Chains A and B, each alone.
Chain A
Amino acid sequence: MQQLSLISKLPSAKQLLYVGIILASIIVSLAGFQTSNAADLSQFKAGRIIDDSVLSDKGSLSANEIQSFLNSKVTNCDTNGTQTSEYGGGTRAQWGAAKYGQSTFICIKNYSEGGKSAAQIIYDTAQEFQISPKVLIVLLQKEQALITDTWPLNIQYRSATGYGCPDTAPCDSQYYGLTNQLRWSARMFRAILNNSPTWYTPYLTGNNYIQYNPTASCGGSTVYIENRATQAMYNYTPYQPNQGALAAGYGTANCGAYGNRNFWLYYNDWFGSTYAPSYRWEPSTQTAYTDSSLSTPIDLNNLTPDSQKRIYIVLRAKNAGTSTWYKNAINLGTSQQQNRISGIYDQTWLSQSRAATLSENQVAPGDYGTFKFWINRPPNAGTIKEYFNVVAEGVTWLNDMGQHFTFNTQAPKYSWSSEGQTAFTDSSKQSNLNYNQIIAGDRAYMVVRAKNTGNVTWSKESINFATIGPNNRQSTVASPEWFSPNRAATLKEAAVIPGATGTFEFWVDFSKAGTFREYFSPVAEGISWMNDIGFYYEYTVKPAVYKWEPAGQSAYLDATKAQAIDTKDLAAGQRLYLQIRAKNVGNVTWYKNNLNLATAGPQNRLSSYQDSTWYSVNRPASITENTVKPGDIGTFEFWVKVPAVNGTRREYFNLVSEYNAWFNDLGLYYDFKTI
C-alpha cells in the first residue's frame, strides 16, 4: 500500500513533459540567443557626434586588429561576381563588365595599394595623423560601404572616403585612390582638431546652422557644436539627420541626410560609444634624463654599459576622459601584466608596481598631467620593454595605450684604435729613439696613445697594455719595470671614457741583437681582450761593439796635472796621477759607472800599484765623462801608488763595459821603474 500511494503521487508523463519544456525554454533563453540591436539613435546628439579624444585615438587598433575586423565583416567575398546583380544586368560580373569594365571585385580585406594592405594603409594613416583607425574604418563604410561590401567596385576605392566629392559636381581626381583619400581625410580631421590657423572651416565650435539635406528647403536647425571632433564631422559632411532619418535607423527618410547618422550608427555598433569614458588618457611625450633637473637627456634606445644606472623619466599624459585627475588618486602603474613587479623599480617609487603619482594637484579633462620618476635601467645587454598604464586607484585602470619604454642596452664592447706610437731614449721624452741605431743593451721609452673606441670607460685598475700574437706572449724586450713579461704597462690616466684617448708608457730593453716584431694590444684584465689592430713595434737590434783606440796617456805628479812625471824614475811609496784618453770606436755609448778601466794581462789581474782611490784592486777608475758617444773621446784619471819593490814593472790596462763585454785589448800599459 505504501508503495502504491507513492506511485500515485508521481507526476504524470504529460506533467513531466510540460515542466521539462518550460524549464528547457527558460534555460535556453537564459543561455541566450542574441537579438540584433542597432545603437539607439535617440541618444544621437547633433552637437556631439564624437569626442575629440575618441577621434584622436590612433592606438585604438593595431594593423592586425584592423585586418581581423575587416575579415569579420566580409566572410564571403564575391570576387568573381557570380551572384545576381542587385542592379540588374545578370550576374554582378556581367553588370560590372557592362557598366564599369570590371568583372572581378576585391573586397577590402584583400585589397592592397602600393604594396600595402588596406588594413596597413588605414593603420599607417592613423599613426601619421593621430586619428583613430576606427574612425577611418567607419568613414570608409559611411562614404562607400567598403567595409561590408562583398563586391566593391573600383570607383568605390577611388573615392573611398568621399574626399573631394562635392554634392553638385564630380569627384576631384587629385584626391583619387584609397591611400590618398584616407590621408586627405585624416589630414583634415587633424587640422581641425589642432585648430590649425591655416585650415579654415565653414563650421565652428559653437552655434552653426546645419541643414537636414543638401536641399535647403528641407530645413535645418542651429546646432551648438560642442567639440572639435564634431566640428570636423560637419566640415566633412555638412548635414545633420532630421527626425525621420533618426527614426529610420539605417534606412532612409524624406529630406534625410545620412552621413553623420551612419557614422554614429556604425561606430556605435562596431566599436562602442563615440564619447570618451570618464577615465581615459593619451600619452603625450616621454623623455628620459640623467638627472631630475632635466638638464641632460639620455637616449634609452642607445644605452651602454657605461650609461648612468638611474634614469629620470618624465611622462606627459593628456586627460582624455571626462573626469578630473587628482594627485595620489591617479598613478602610473605597471601594465601587461597589471600590477607587475617592475624590473626597473626604484626605491623612490610608490611601490614596486606604481612608478609615480601625478605631479600636478589636479588635471582637468583636456589638460596634461605629468608623471616623474626614477628608474634603474636594466643591467644586462639587450632590449627590454617596460609597459605602464595610468590607473585611477580603487576605480579602474585607464585605457591601455601600450605605453612603454624601450631600453636598448648595448653589450660591453672593449675596443681601441691607435692614435700614435712614439719611442724615446729616455722617460723625459726629449729625444726620439733612432730605430736604425738600436744596439743590444740599449733601452727605449715607449709611448702609445690609444683611443677608446668601445662603449665602456677604461680604468687604470683594469686596462693594461699586453703582449699578443699570441696573447700573453713572453716579450723579448720586457724591462724590469714591467708587471710581468707580458704586461708592459697599465693605463696612465685614471679613466678614459669612450671616444677619449689614453696613454701607455713603458720601458723596453733591447737585450739581444736581431730583428724583432712585438705585437701589443690593450686588455681589460679578467674581462676581455680588445680588438687586434695589428699594432706592433719592429726593432732591429745591432750587436754591441765595444771598441776603442788610444788617444793619449800621461803621468803627472798630482791631480793638477801641472807637472808631468817620468814613470821610469819612481821611488817606492810614491803616488803619481795617470791619465788615459780613449776614443770610442765602437757603436755603444759609454756611460759613467758602467765603462771602467780595468787591469789586463790578464784580465782582472790584481795590481800591486793599487791606490786607495781605486774602486777595487783591478778597477782603477771609470770614465770621467757622463757619456761618451761613438767617435768621442773618454778619459780615465786615477792615482797609482808605487810598491816598495825595486825594479821595472809593466802594468797593462784595458776598458771594460761592466756586465757586458771587455773591449779590444790594445796592450795599453805603463812601465814603472822603481829605484
Chain B
Amino acid sequence: MKIKRNKQKLSQNSITLLVIVIILLATAGFFATYAYINKSSIFGWSPFGTKVIETKFNTEKPTDEQKMGGDQIKQDSIEKEATQDDNTNAPSSPIKVTITANTVNGPTYQVRARIDDILSEGTCKITLSQNDKVLTKEAAVQPTANFSTCAGFDIPVSELGSGSWNVKIIVTSTERTGDATTVINI
C-alpha cells in the first residue's frame, strides 16, 4: 500500500514574498541597531533616548517653513527698498509720535514716546497741565534702531502733586513737527 504524504509545497510567489520579508526585516534591524547604538536614528529621532551630547545648534538644513519665512522676509525687504523713495518724508510732513510708556514708577513719573522716524536732531517738549498748573520740560531727540525717542522724561512725582494731568509731547525737528497726548493719574 502506498502511503500518500500530505506534503505542502511552497509556491514560487510565496518564496519571493518570504525573501522580501527577510530583506525588510534585515533593513529594519539595521536601522534599529544604528538607532540603539547611537541613541539617534539616521533620520534624527530615536526611541532609545537622547544621546548625552549637548548640541549647541541645529545643524540640519532649514525646513521648508523656515525657508518660506525667509523668502517672505526677503520679499518684504525688497519691496520696502523699492518703495523707499515713496516713503521719504517730505520736509513738511508731520512727525508721527506715539506715547508708549506712561507710568508712575515709585517716586518718578516716566513717560516715553516713539517717534516713527530716525531723527538725528530735534527737540521733545513735554507739557503737563492740570487746571491752571502747567509744567514743561524739554529733552533732545535720540535715534535708535528703527525709530527715535525722546531722551526723557523721568519727572519726580513731587513736582506734580496728585490728581489727573494732561500730558502732551511735541517733537520738533527742522521744519517738521508732531505730537501725542495722554493722561496720567498721579
> Which residues of A are in contact with B by a Cβ distance under 8 Å?
4, 7-8, 10, 12-14, 16-17, 19-21, 23-24, 27-28, 30-36, 38, 60-61, 65, 68-69, 72-73, 75, 86-87, 134, 141-145, 147-149, 152-153, 155-156, 159, 162-172, 184-185, 188, 199-204, 206-209, 214, 216, 235-238, 249-252, 258, 262, 265-266, 269-271, 400
Contacts and interface: CB of A to CB of B under 8 A. Distances in A.
Interface string B1-39: 000011110110111011011101101110110110000
B65 A250 contact: yes
B118 A30 contact: no
A172 B70 contact: no
Contacts of A34: 41, 43-45
Contacts of B27: 24, 28
Contacts of B66: 38, 148, 250, 266, 269
Nearest to A400: B54
A10 B63 CA distance: 48
B89 A168 contact: yes
Contacts of A400: 54
A86 B85 CA distance: 23
A65 B57 contact: yes
Contacts of B75: 86-87
B147 to A, nearest CB: 6
A185 B146 CA distance: 10
Contacts of B7: 4, 7
B117 A169 contact: yes
A36 B32 contact: no
Contacts of B78: 87, 153, 155
A152 B75 CA distance: 11
Interface stretch (B108-116, B126-134, B157-165): B108-116
B70 A65 contact: no
Given A16-B17, A31-B43, 14 more contacts: A10-B8, A13-B15, A13-B17, A20-B22, A27-B31, A28-B28, A30-B47, A167-B147, A168-B87, A170-B85, A200-B151, A250-B68, A251-B68, A266-B66
Interface in B36-78: 41-47, 54, 56-75, 77-78
19 contacts: A17-B17, A20-B22, A20-B25, A21-B24, A24-B25, A27-B29, A72-B60, A134-B57, A144-B74, A148-B62, A152-B74, A162-B145, A169-B88, A170-B87, A172-B143, A200-B142, A203-B101, A207-B101, A271-B58
The 8 closest A-B pairs by CB, nearest first: A13-B14, A20-B21, A250-B69, A145-B70, A34-B44, A31-B31, A32-B45, A27-B28
A655 B79 CA distance: 121
A619 B106 CA distance: 113
B62 A163 contact: no
A86 B114 CA distance: 36
B116 A23 contact: no
Nearest to A4: B6
Interface string B149-182: 1111000000000000000000000000000000
Nearest to B33: A31
A19 B54 CA distance: 39
Question: Among A73, A258, A271, which residue has the most Cβ atoms of chain B within 10 A?
Answer: A73
A16 B68 CA distance: 45
A142 B73 contact: yes
A250 B74 CA distance: 13
A60 B56 contact: yes
Question: Among A60, A168, A206, which residue has the most Cβ atoms of chain B within 10 A?
Answer: A168
A252 B103 CA distance: 33
A164 B127 CA distance: 29
Given A149-B70, A235-B144, A16 B118 contact: no
Q: How large is the interface on B (under 10, 10 to 19, 20 to 34, 35 or more residues)?
A: 35 or more
B92 interface: no
Contacts of A143: 73, 77
A278 to B, nearest CB: 15
A187 B45 CA distance: 39
B149 to A, nearest CB: 5
A72 B110 CA distance: 46
Nearest to B47: A30
Interface string B88-107: 11000000101011010100
Contact of B73 (A144, A209, A237): A144
A4 B5 CA distance: 8
Contact of B112 (A13, A153, A202, A216): A202
A85 B28 CA distance: 42
B41 A200 contact: no
Contact of B44 (A8, A32, A156, A201): A32
Contact of A30 (B21, B35, B116): B35
Contacts of B113: 202
Given A16-B21, A36-B63, A209-B100, A203 B112 contact: yes
A24 B28 contact: yes
A202 B149 contact: yes
A72 B74 contact: no
A72 B61 contact: yes
Contact of A206 (B34, B69, B105): B105
B117 A168 contact: yes
A144 B76 CA distance: 9
B74 A156 contact: yes
A223 B145 CA distance: 20
Contacts of A144: 73-74, 77
B121 interface: no
A7 B10 CA distance: 11
A165 B74 CA distance: 15
A164 B44 contact: no
Given A60-B56, A144-B77, A170-B87, A23 B28 contact: yes
Nearest to B17: A17
A200 B59 contact: no
Nearest to B62: A148
B125 to A, nearest CB: 15
A148 B65 contact: no
Given A31-B35, A36-B65, A250-B68, A21 B145 contact: no
A165 B80 CA distance: 10
Nearest to B28: A27
Contacts of A21: 21, 24
Contacts of A13: 10-11, 13-15, 17-18
B174 to A, nearest CB: 14
Contacts of B142: 199-200
Contacts of A72: 58-61
A237 B74 contact: no
